[in-house]
Structure 1
Amino acid sequence: MTLLPALTAKVRAAAHPDTAGAACVCAAIPTLLADRPDATVVRHAGTVAKAHAPDTDRAELTLRLATAAGLPDVLLSPLAPAPTALQDRLVTFWPYGAPVDPDAPDAAPWEATATLLARLHRTTPLDGLPPMRGPAKAARAVARLHTVLRSEPHPAAGPVLRAWAALPAWARAEAPMPGVPALCHGDLHLGQLVRHPAPDGPWRLIDVDDLGTGVPAWDLARPAAWYACGLLPPDEWTRFLGAYQRAGGPAVPAAGDPWPALDVPARALTVQTSALALAKALAARRPLDEVEQQLVDACARMAPIPHQLAPEHTD
């Protein structure tokens, strides 16, 4: 049995544990929510099953699940404390939550997102929790671009790769992250929030695959990068940043200029997003769209990083 039918059978069983293996007779139809090389996600009724990437470490994922279970006011809690095996994948089970509506940008929960992040960053990480995978994901995006460029050179690659090379080693996942490690989400964007219970329960963060310890400013970097590139309106950035500061988030000062803390992570996320966009455009043999070109242009405008903003490592 291929992965998707097997995962569908798993989520049906998880949604109806009292049927003792009998056929499911409920009216709900299983829904495929995502199908990527690193994740396949299926929903049945109020239960969601996620098959994680084939190289997922069981011990690390179990610690990430324990972290989520211990922070029910921040992270969506898993339905089981440990993953289960399915073929060559690890599978976790979750309650269904209603996602952010992409067609209602004015209703984006910026304040709720910032408040949840501040709570997460103030939490002491569990012993043994691995580093958050934000820098590693950025490095993978650049590696993917290099692979595509072997057969499809493109002039936009120059600014992206130069901006990447100018980042400090820790932001390229080539050295330990500096400072006192905080508990971080690792891949924060509005697609990582749901309301639970659906449809109008409180907002919770989802997706623990990149959860871990590291530089908390990384979790603010995507909206910071969008703002710096002109893709996020100033008032929405101000709402997000202000809510984070009011909630006591440690990534930036409570008052004053936040950019000494945000500059390097925001640059890294701009490069990551640009590299992914360019790789996808080249693979599809299409020109960059307006937003993608704005990201590449932002890479081209990046000045050298001041020395005080680029620590390599702090013991």
Structure 2
Amino acid sequence: MTTHPLLTELTFRARSAAHPGEEKACGCGAATLADRPDATVVRHADTVAKAHAPGTAPADLAPRLAMAARLPGILLPPLGETSVGLHGRLVTFWPYGEPVDPEHPDAAPWEPAATLLAHLHRTPAPPGLPPMRGPAKAALAVGRLLATTRRGHALPVLRAWLTLPAWARAETPMSGTTTLCHGDLHLGQLVRHPAPDGPWRLIDVDDLGVGEPAWDLARPAAWYACGLLPPDDWSRFLGAYRAAGGPAVPAGGDPWPALDVPARALTVQTAARAIVKAIEAGRALDDVEQAVVDACDRMGSAPPQLADGFAK
């Protein structure tokens, strides 16, 4: 990974936050956890520094940080509720948490994730919290696809995008929604804190806000519908969410009327990102990427009543 000024200075900031007032060198070392256009994240000892996406508004980030500080039993709280600027990016500091191990999918914390979501959704949202950014992120992914190509695999994805209602494409507000939502739930958004075996907590508040709670269930729902998440894992996740009183789906019966639109939107978002990633890497789609594109193909050529899932 190429070192650039932001990464170098963010690493220094992380060290300074981990060892305040100490100028001598330490043996802790530093690790780059992520270095993408939308986020650069580094760790030094038990401190994590994150440079948020360019254009992140302080007025939007501040109430999200405050919400994380208020809900330490659900969200990983920041090390302070304020952010600092670095190369035009807002930077925040966090305690380190142990992430989900991608090498052991059988140990994925589906029940804790669902329970945390249900508790988050049942928490009253305070005034002034911005909208949840899920639909906006889906629209950004499709916009990037349009800027990259409008041919080949992109065509079924774009057709599927046009079957979605305007609110799911971020063209109109999510009307009547006041539920506190995470906005970008996936297994990478869970850590154990204190590391390595503390309780699970949700991380990444960049998309936190009020919105449609079914969006937070949509990624595992889409994986299940595409045949990428085993039925037992989906049942564990959905059952735990219902058992914890989550409001996004009915307490019993068919959950798909509530999940259909968000699950289709997350399928399109995932497919759009996959195509762009493959084009930039100069390679063909892998089996998982092809599966979500195929699901979009079925979505774009079928009525939007997909209660039986996309896998058929």
Could you tell me the TM-score, scaled by structure 1's length? 0.93
Q: Which residue of 1 aligns with 2:103?
A: 103
Q: Which residue of 2 aligns with 1:223?
A: 220
What are the equivalent positions in structure 2 for 1:184-203 lying under 5 Å apart? 184-203=181-200
Question: C-alpha distance in 1, partners of 2:276/2:33?
Answer: 24
Secondary structure in 1 matching 2:137: helix
Q: Indicate if the aligned counterparts of 2:83 and 2:92 stay in contact, CA closer than 8 A.
A: yes
Secondary structure in 1 matching 2:151: coil
CA-atom RMSD, angstroms? 1.3
Give the letter for the 2:15 counterpart.
R
Structure 1 position 180, deviation (Å)? 3.0
Give the letter for the 1:180 counterpart.
T
Q: Which residue of 1 aligns with 2:155?
A: 158
Structure 1 position 154, deviation (Å)? 3.3
| Partner of residue 300 from structure 1, selected from 290, 297, 301 | 297
Q: Which residue of 2 aligns with 1:116?
A: 116
Note the alpha carbon deviations across 1:32-81, whole angstroms, 9 max, x for none: 11101111111000000001112010111110000000000000000011
Question: C-alpha distance in 1, partners of 2:213/2:176?
Answer: 10
Q: Which residue of 1 aligns with 2:73?
A: 73
Q: Which residue of 1 aligns with 2:94?
A: 94
Structure 1 position 237, deviation (Å)? 0.1
What are the equivalent positions in structure 2 for 1:250-269 lying under 5 Å apart? 250-269=247-266
Question: C-alpha distance in 2, partners of 1:60/1:293?
Answer: 36
Secondary structure in 2 matching 1:243: helix
Q: Which structure 1 segments of 5+ residues have no match?
A: 307-315
Question: C-alpha distance in 1, partners of 2:292/2:19?
Answer: 46
Question: C-alpha distance in 2, partners of 1:138/1:17?
Answer: 39
Secondary structure in 2 matching 1:17: coil
Question: C-alpha distance in 2, partners of 1:285/1:35?
Answer: 20
Q: Which residue of 2 aligns with 1:281?
A: 278
Structure 1 position 301, deviation (Å)? 1.2
Structure 1 position 197, deviation (Å)? 0.3
Q: Which residue of 2 aligns with 1:62?
A: 62
More divergent stretch after superposition (191-200 vs 84-93):
84-93
Could you tell me the TM-score, scaled by structure 2's length? 0.94
Secondary structure in 2 matching 1:183: strand
Q: Between the two proteins, what is the percent identity of the paired residues? A: 71
Structure 1 position 257, deviation (Å)? 0.7
| Partner of residue 2 from structure 1, selected from 5, 17, 27 | 5
Question: C-alpha distance in 1, partners of 2:68/2:285?
Answer: 38
| Partner of residue 172 from structure 2, selected from 171, 175, 193 | 175
Note the alpha carbon deviations across 1:188-216, whole angstroms, 9 max, x for none: 00000000000000000000111111000
Q: Which residue of 2 aligns with 1:14?
A: 17
Question: C-alpha distance in 2, partners of 1:290/1:9?
Answer: 40
Q: Which residue of 1 aligns with 2:230?
A: 233
Secondary structure in 2 matching 1:123: coil
Q: Which residue of 2 aligns with 1:310?
A: none
Q: Which structure 2 segments of 5+ residues have no match?
A: 306-312
Q: Which residue of 1 aligns with 2:310?
A: none
Question: C-alpha distance in 2, partners of 1:284/1:68?
Answer: 36
